[in-house]
């Protein structure tokens, strides 16, 4: 971790109770920290700012003002405190604070606006407040902070979602590739964020939910970090063999059972479609199976299938040279599966989850598959390869046939599958394809909870017409129109024996330009999805 998260319980702390307000604030302020973080609503501000005389002021901000010897009033007078959502007001310790037993070096006040009202409550709005707070804590002389959760979530049922989201954003903000992989940065090393430790404070009323949410958030961030690292590593290091060794290393860390199949075993399974992509590269393919056994042995597992093309040149259908270096990110589906399984192991998730990753390179050579070649998939269906750059579906289809043996509760494949999905949805939503309404609803909800969102696209039978071949059961492309849809339709031909959903993350798995790097998506989505499964 590049940032530490923990919990601390102040048993009776309650800023909503007039009787407990003074003692609650005193206990929080008496805790030694670089910064105490508190949220206030527009109603709190109005009751404080509207009173003319200090002695007439009441409520949370007024009591805090008295304990801080007028610092809140002074900030209000200067215009540093207002009623706007996501507003930030940082108060620095002054000598009079100590006379009231204040040990916090700073107090950070974050404006909620009307978020305390049920009609205004949304995770999107809450995330803006969180981002503003985390930004204020980062990059300066603050190394640790005490974040009082009940001042943000005034209903216990909101705590888990909001704490996990806060940890998700905090972890994302603190991530530095050069710190986690110092050997990769030979000249200018990334500096670790000066902000190192966020303590989530709660009371007896939310202690159980808070501790569990922090544990879950920690696991999710670790999984997200691993996915980011794998995506950001150069393709001469992050090869199929490296992915396999990374997965095997997790068996020791969190007790995952990992099996890696090599070329001969893949051939024995009849995965001709997968091998057709791998045959142009000297780097051997790998087929990785990861098992988290957290439920009963009789419980049907949820299976995650990740596309693991560790570098995609397009094969004989060679891609343009510009930005081809970003094709190292074509294994981000695999990285997200590895990260999610790691998170499941860390949180000791009480479910059975299996990760399946077909991984290889797509390279041009004298042995490479040609446009016009016909291959036989593990399912027995023959495929005419019209474009070797539509390779992700060729490795996934055999993996999707393989997972039938697990008699899964549901299967979700995750892949940087099509540029067409980027054209359709940009870099905001991942594409979601499924005919199972339960899966669609669950994944959509998990996306909203994590703000790692999806958008459903069609799978109508009419699109299958574009995949017809005169020489094989199916062609691997259907032309430019509806490219992401026909790719999903292709995969659906191999998923008829179980509930299935496909996530096209081509637009969300990484960023280009100055912010270039893996996003770790959709690990937050997948973790939240698994947490909601019963």
CA distances from 10 to 28, 81, 144, 205, 506 (A): 8, 27, 18, 10, 45
Which of 317, 510, 490, 479 has its CA nearest to residue 416? 510
What is the CA 229 to chain-centroid distance, rounded?
13
Distances (CA, A) of 369 to 200, 278, 372, 386, 397: 54, 9, 9, 10, 17
90: which residues sit within 8 A by CB, 6+ positions away?
Answer: 35, 106, 107, 108, 109, 136
- What is the DSSP-derived secondary structure letter of residue 76? H
Full 3-state SS string of 357-377: EEEEEECCCCCCCCCCCEEEC
CA dihedral 74→79→80→84, nearest 10 degrees, is 130
Residues 6+ apart with CB under 8 A from 437: none
* Catalytic residue status for 319: yes
245: its two tokens: 């060794």
Beta bridge partners of 104: 33
Question: Radius of gyration over alpha carbons of the chain, in Å?
Answer: 26
Q: How far apart are CA 103 and CA 33, in angstroms?
A: 7
Q: Is the dihedral of CA 20, 22, 27, 33 positive or negative?
A: positive
Angle between helices 207-232 and 240-254 (to 10 degrees): 160
Q: Which of 26, 319, 376, 499 is catalytic?
A: 319
Query: 202 is written with which tokens?
Result: 């709660």
Nearest CA to 421 among 455, 380, 393?
A: 455
Closest-CA residue to 54 (of 64, 40, 42): 64
List, in sequence order, every residue forming a beta bridge with 412; answer none if it has no partner: 304, 501
Q: Which of 57, 164, 228, 393 is catalytic?
A: 393
Q: Does 297 sit behind a cis peptide bond, omega within 30 degrees of 0 on the bond before it?
A: no
User: In this structure, what token pair is assigned to residue 186?
Assistant: 């030979």
Give CA–CA dist 465/474, Å, rounded: 10
Residues with Cβ within 8 Å of 423's Cβ and at least 6 positions away in sequence, in order, are none
Q: What is the side-by-side strand order in the sheet with 382-384? A: 374-376, 382-384, 474-475
Annotated catalytic residues are 319, 393
């Amino acid at each position: 971790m590049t940032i530490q998260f923990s919990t601390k319980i102040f048993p009776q702390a309650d800023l909503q109770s007039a009787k407990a307000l003074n003692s609650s604030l005193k206990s929080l302020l008496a805790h030694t920290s670089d910064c105490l973080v508190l949220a206030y609503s527009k109603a709190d501000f109005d009751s404080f700012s509207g009173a003319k005389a200090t002695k007439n002021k009441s409520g949370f901000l007024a009591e805090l003002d008295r304990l801080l010897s007028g610092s809140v009033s002074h900030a209000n007078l200067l215009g540093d405190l207002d009623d706007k959502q996501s507003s930030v007001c940082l108060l620095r310790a002054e000598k009079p604070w100590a006379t009231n037993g204040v040990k916090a070096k700073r107090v950070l006040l974050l404006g909620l606006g009307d978020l305390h009202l049920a009609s205004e409550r949304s995770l999107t709005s809450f995330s803006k407040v969180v981002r503003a707070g985390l930004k204020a804590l980062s990059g300066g002389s603050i190394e640790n902070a005490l974040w009082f959760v009940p001042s943000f979530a005034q209903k216990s049922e909101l705590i888990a979602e909001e704490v996990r989201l806060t940890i998700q954003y905090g972890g994302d903000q603190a991530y530095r590739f050069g710190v986690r992989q110092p050997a990769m940065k030979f000249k200018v090393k990334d500096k670790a964020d000066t902000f190192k430790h966020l303590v989530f404070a709660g009371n007896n009323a939310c202690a159980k939910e808070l501790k569990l949410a922090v544990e879950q958030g920690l696991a999710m961030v670790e999984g997200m970090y691993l996915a980011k690292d794998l995506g950001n590593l150069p393709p001469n290091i992050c090869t199929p063999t490296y992915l396999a060794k990374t997965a095997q290393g997790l068996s020791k860390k969190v007790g995952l059972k990992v099996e890696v199949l090599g070329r001969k075993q893949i051939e024995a399974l009849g995965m001709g479609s997968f091998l057709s992509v791998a045959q142009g590269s000297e780097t051997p393919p790998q087929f990785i199976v990861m098992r988290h056994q957290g439920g009963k042995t009789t419980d049907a597992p949820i299976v995650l299938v990740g596309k693991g093309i560790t570098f995609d040149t397009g094969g004989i259908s060679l891609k343009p040279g510009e930005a081809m270096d970003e094709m190292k990110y074509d294994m981000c589906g695999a990285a997200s599966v590895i990260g999610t399984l790691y998170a499941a192991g860390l949180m000791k998730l009480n479910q059975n989850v299996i990760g399946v990753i077909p991984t290889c390179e797509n390279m041009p050579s004298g042995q490479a598959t040609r446009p016009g070649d016909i291959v036989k998939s593990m399912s027995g269906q023959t495929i005419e390869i019209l474009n070797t750059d539509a390779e992700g579906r060729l490795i996934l289809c055999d993996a999707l046939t393989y997972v039938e043996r697990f008699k899964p509760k549901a299967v979700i494949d995750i892949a940087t599958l099509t540029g067409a999905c980027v054209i359709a949805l940009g870099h905001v939503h991942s594409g979601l394809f499924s005919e199972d309404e339960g899966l669609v609803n669950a994944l959509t909800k998990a996306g909203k909870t994590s703000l790692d969102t999806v958008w459903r696209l069609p799978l109508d039978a009419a699109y299958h017409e574009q995949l017809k071949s005169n020489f094989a059961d199916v062609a691997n492309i259907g032309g430019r129109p509806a490219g992401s849809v026909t790719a999903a339709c292709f995969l659906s031909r191999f998923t008829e024996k179980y509930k299935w959903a496909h996530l096209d993350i081509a637009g969300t798995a990484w960023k280009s330009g100055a912010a270039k790097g893996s996003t770790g998506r959709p690990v937050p989505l997948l973790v939240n999805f698994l947490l909601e499964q019963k």
